Chains A and B, each alone.
Chain A
């Protein structure tokens, strides 16, 4: 009962914040980028909360139960590496260039640097693939509320979507970042507390490691959890592809920090470059602390779960590991906090995705197709939030197989398609449309083809071939274009 009460108070608070921020939202710049007036705490925690969805708590934290500490170690390393790169390599030039052109969305930066065709394609990629990405987050939140609180799955989806769309539609980006701040603090505190609770339960880190090394599990000796290249789900072990699988998947998840539009748009909303400089100090630190705490929990599940339940269930669905540990180790009040933190992680990602989809639809497609007044564009953006928040709910209710496939590769597509055009926008002295557009389209195609036909053979996640193809395409088109422009007519 206390879990439902805490969750209800949290949801009510989110809606109140949305209404409060509505009164401060005067026009497009406010609704799209919070008036470009965000301080370091809002930008940093908003970046952190948006990036860590339920997938971080459930998948990132739980998969170590199956794959051991190799998963945890590389996931932590790549998270810290790409967080530092995002704030030092991407953020400063993005803020400068977006301010110079007055861009409100990431595709609009492409439009200013490359041309309208790149802006249009980038917007379509965002709308299509983020809708599918949202399906996976809705499903995570729905399953969690169903398993942990016994709320009907459909009802859980509707509650999550309903609250997010109300505060996002009325409060805009201001509501998104202020709720992100609260959700980010909840997620960080929840993650660190959970790690401390696990260590406390197991008698400290050294005792926990020693116990795990000596325990016999369904995966063999506990010492296997400390080996590199030894553990993975059976199809990957049978194919002998454990190392490529672990390296490519941890790399793929973490590199999303460099190029995901819903994350990097926060750099544009910062008040000035000083905020970016300070954010570069704070954000990688909180991402690192959270990653070290939460991603290291999974393998220790073998010292907790078998005492209460059959571990086979958790091997088949490792997303259950972290919530189960939280529910067992914390007293009722605290486990409500952890549960709310996991729901907060889902909502802070959904609100940013739906905001970036709606703003891109209006600013990058409608705005270029038809002249509308600022007031009309604002109304359409608000209505679009409702529509784009509800479409993935209908897909999450009973997803057909083809949807499951697209969801699986959606964030790979976004990262592969956006990274090179972003780098080219910032660091190329002569940004050119054809190489950027070609690299984006080829990245999308390669990701889809690889995921459908090669992923289950080589177990290398599609981001890796997608990025390689994108770089090669860009280089070939850029060289060819230069050769043509240099040759005498």
Chain B
């Protein structure tokens, strides 16, 4: 159960980081 949760958290974190970085990058362009 713990392991499945950590795997899921890793994937969510990876995409969350990707989206935040995209947002920051577009803000810099503006």
- Total contacts A-B at CB 8 Å: 67
Known: A277-B28, A280-B25, A292-B10. A80 touches B17 (CB 8 A): yes
Confirm or deny: A332 has a beta carbon within 8 angstroms of a beta carbon on chain B: no
Give the contacts of B1-22 with A (CB-CB under 8 A): 1-3, 6-7, 9-11, 13-14, 17-18, 20-22
Chain A interfacial residues counted at CB < 8 A: 26
Confirm or deny: A84 has a beta carbon within 8 angstroms of a beta carbon on chain B: yes
Q: How far is the CA of A227 from the CA of B1 in the complex (A)?
A: 8
* A221 CB, min distance to chain B CBs, angstroms: 15
Known: A80-B13, A274-B28. A284 touches B7 (CB 8 A): no
* A76 CB, min distance to chain B CBs, angstroms: 5
* Contact status A228-B3, CB under 8 Å: yes
Chain B interfacial residues counted at CB < 8 A: 18
Q: How far is the CA of A84 from the CA of B28 in the complex (A)?
A: 18
User: A69, A77, A83, A274: which has the most chain B beta carbons within 10 Å?
Assistant: A77
Known: A274-B28, A278-B25, A280-B25. A84 touches B6 (CB 8 A): no
Please give, as numbers and ranges, the residues of chain A lying within 8 Å of B24 by CB-CB distance. 88, 277, 280
Give the contacts of A248-301 with B (CB-CB under 8 A): 273-274, 277-278, 280-281, 284-285, 288, 291-292
Please give, as numbers and ranges, the residues of chain B lying within 8 Å of A74 by CB-CB distance. 6
* Contact status B25-A77, CB under 8 Å: no
* Contact status B18-A80, CB under 8 Å: no
Q: Identify the 8 closest CB pairs spanning chains A and B, nearest first.
A: A84-B17, A73-B6, A288-B14, A280-B21, A228-B2, A277-B25, A281-B21, A77-B10
- Can you list 18 residue pairs at the A/B interface with Cβ under 8 Å? A69-B3, A73-B3, A73-B7, A76-B7, A77-B9, A77-B13, A80-B10, A80-B17, A227-B3, A277-B21, A280-B17, A280-B25, A281-B21, A281-B25, A284-B17, A285-B18, A288-B10, A288-B14
**Contacts A88-B20, A228-B3, A292-B11 known; 16 new A-B pairs at CB < 8 A:** A73-B3, A73-B6, A76-B6, A76-B7, A81-B13, A84-B17, A87-B21, A274-B25, A274-B28, A277-B21, A278-B25, A281-B22, A284-B14, A284-B17, A285-B14, A285-B17
